[in-house]
Structure 1
Amino acid sequence: MISLENQYLRASFSSKGGELQSLKSKKTELEYLWSGNPDYWGKFSPILFPIVGGLKNNTYYFKNKAYTLPRHGFARDRVFEAEQISETELLFTLEHDEESLKVYPFEFRLGLRYQLSADQLICSYEVLNTGDQKLWFSIGGHPAFAVPLKEELSYHDYYLQFNKDHQLISNKINQDLIDDETKMTELENGKLRLEHDLFYEDALVFKNLKSDAIAVRSKQDPHGLEFQFKDFPFFGIWAAKDANFVCLEPWCGIADGIHTKQNLEEKEGILSLNPKENWKRQWQVTCF
């Protein structure tokens, strides 16, 4: 485990997946991240790369050749190189290798940069096309935040506060694929109460979310967090069945739709980079 620390926060990370595994307030000792209990879901904050979500039959086609990738890609299961920039900044990197080229025929360098700034953790995704052909990719975050933050409170004592939405339109998931059917949920002053049964039919998937910040709050608890995610066109919210966490997932990319033709270059939400081009996005969480 590798740690970052400032006067407000202490964060811990694993080289496997370059994964954030703990985010604690030094003042209150509150743990803001999910515990990773494998009885429910044994991850904490995996990186989704080079795809987000599932592929139809776990297969895509590029230049008329079939390739197989598992749900959310392979980066979350790979060991990253770690470089400690300072007490408050850390960079993980992953590059293509012989194994990755068998399932994803592109040369790349993926960077996960974490920085602490006052009471905020900033996570930046940095992608470099190191090859000589166009790079096609999707990328996304999957951080799981603890709910409730206080043991004496319940899951439904908390709510999500959307900063720009008054109603939510989510696409249903059909056997890991995005369905055309949608569901509308009205919000009261931008609030969505957290209930375990929200996620009994899988994640809530949004293609047209207006908000670029979502807070986790409770009227019974002064502590919570605000999650900011500018320039991510898709978003997912999920929890394992009856587990005490909520995943706030900013995505540049999305699972295959039910009508997909499985061609990587035509995949919904797919991004491309020319040779030697860089790409960067970031999300940040403020703890209070």
Structure 2
Amino acid sequence: MNYTLKNDQLSVTVDTFGAEMHSIQHDDIEYLWQADPKFWGRHAPVLFPIVGKLKNGQYHYNEQTYQMGGHGFARDNDFELIKKSDNELVFELRDNEDSLNHYPFHFNFRVSYKLVDNKIRVRYEVKNEDEKFMSFGVGAHPAFNVPLKNGTFEDYQLTVSPDEKRTFIPLDPPSGTLKLDERVETQVNTLPLTRELFDKDALVYTSSDEMKVSLINKLDERGVTVTWKDMPYFGLWSPYPNEAPFVCIEPWSGIADDENTDGDITTKFGINQLAPEGSFSCEYTIEIN
């Protein structure tokens, strides 16, 4: 079921299925990708309890092997709406019989959306309701229309701030796993959009303590800015070679498997560990220009 938040600047619609945003409208313009299956049939999936792909689609825990698809199962589950106010929606997902077949932990996962002027604050809260340490990742995958109103794909650019050296981690396109052995330090600030920018799948980088990534039309300055802190990785993605009219800006607290992983989820690169009854939270903000 869809729920909509509105103020005098934005209208944001979220579906209980996957707790996924389906629309962000401003000045009668749709900013969020509308899930045309010709290119990619999702809008802004929530990634939990893993981010990215597992090597061979599986992992090991406590001498057992579990299967799990890329980006986890939250995006394909119904959440419960537990709070609705004029400017905020809060959705909740708990472990169930099916999730325990893929992920042997009891958890409470909440996703909230809050409107503040021309901004949408998205918050993730994870609680370990198990008696053992819980291994998990969580992240965002919003896709934004390009172009929005004027110009072409190539009239837009991505700007990454702060302008400082960070680690670039290449992906292996067929498997979706990371090539940690090929990590390089790079200075990344302005990335003019071209199709070839994504010819090796997503661009994956380490985050600074506080991050800002803007996707802006150079012709009219219309676009979006995504900010976050304490989410240690991010991805930038548009399908290649398909000329899909969108770009994703993805802050992550977690990351795909390394191609050389041994499959143990407790030692997986970039994994989070949460103590019994412990809580974790992170958030990001989308600002609409």
User: Is this a same-fold pair by TM over 0.5?
Assistant: yes
> Identity over the aligned pairs, expressed in percent?
36
| Match runs of 1:80-119 below 5 Å | 80-119=79-118
1:258 and 2:259 matched: yes
How far apart, CA to CA, are the structure 2 residues paired with 1:186 and 1:276? 40
Residue in structure 1 matched with residue 168 of structure 2 by the alignment:
170
Cα distance in 2 between the residues matched to 1:117 and 1:207:
28
**1:24 corresponds to:** 25
Please give the alpha-carbon distance, in whole angstroms, between the structure 2 residues aligned to 1:208 and 1:226.
15
Give 1:134 deviation, angstroms. Answer: 1.4
Structure 1 match to 2:126 = 127
Q: Work out whether residues 164 and 210 of structure 1, in 8 Å CA contact, stay in contact via their aligned partners in 2.
A: no
* Equivalent in the alignment of 1:153: 151
Q: Given the superposition, is the C-alpha separation of residues 186 and 271 from structure 1 closer, same or farther in structure 2, using an over 3 Å criterion?
A: closer
Give the structure 1 partner of residue 42 of structure 2.
Answer: 43
C-alpha distance in structure 1 between counterparts of 2:278 and 2:101, whole Å: 23
Aligned to 1:52: 51
Contact 2:210–2:230 (8 Å) recurs in 1: no
Contact 1:53 1:71 in 2 (8 A): yes
Residues in 1 aligned to 2:176 and 2:147: alpha-carbon distance in whole angstroms: 28
Partner SS for 2:169: strand
Deviation at 1:20, TM superposition (A): 0.5
1:204 aligns with 2:194: no
Which residue in 1 is equivalent to 2:78?
79
Is the 2:227–2:284 contact (alpha carbons within 8 Å) kept by the matching residues of 1?
yes
Instruction: Compute the TM-score of the two structures, normalised by the length of structure 1.
Output: 0.94
Provide, for residues 212-246 of structure 1, a one-character-per-residue CA deviation record: whole Å limited to 9, x for no partner.
00111122013212110111111111112311111
Between 153-162 and 217-226, report the one with greater CA deviation.
217-226
Return the letter of the residue paired with 1:262.
G
The question of whether the paired residues in 2 share the 8 Å contact of 1:115 and 1:121 is answered with yes
Residue 147 of structure 1 and its aligned partner are, at CA, apart by 1.1
Write out per-residue CA displacement over residues 199-222 of structure 1, whole angstroms, 9 at most, x where no aligned residue.
122111113557600111122013
Alpha-carbon shift at residue 31 of structure 1 (Å): 1.3
Q: Tell me, yes or no, if the aligned pair for 2:43 and 2:142 is still in contact at 8 Å.
A: yes
Structure 1: segments with no counterpart, 5+ residues: none
C-alpha separation between the residues in 2 aligned to 1:79 and 1:154?
Answer: 36
- Counterpart secondary structure, 2:41: coil
**5+ residue gaps, structure 2:** none
Distance 2:110 2:237 in 1: 25
SS, match of residue 52 in structure 1: coil
For 1:243 and 1:45, the matched residues in 2 are separated by 15
Aligned-pair distance for 1:251?
0.8
Change (3 A) 1:6 1:208: closer
Contact map agreement 1:165 1:209 (CA 8 A) in 2: no
- Structure 2 distance, partners of 1:275, 1:186, is 39
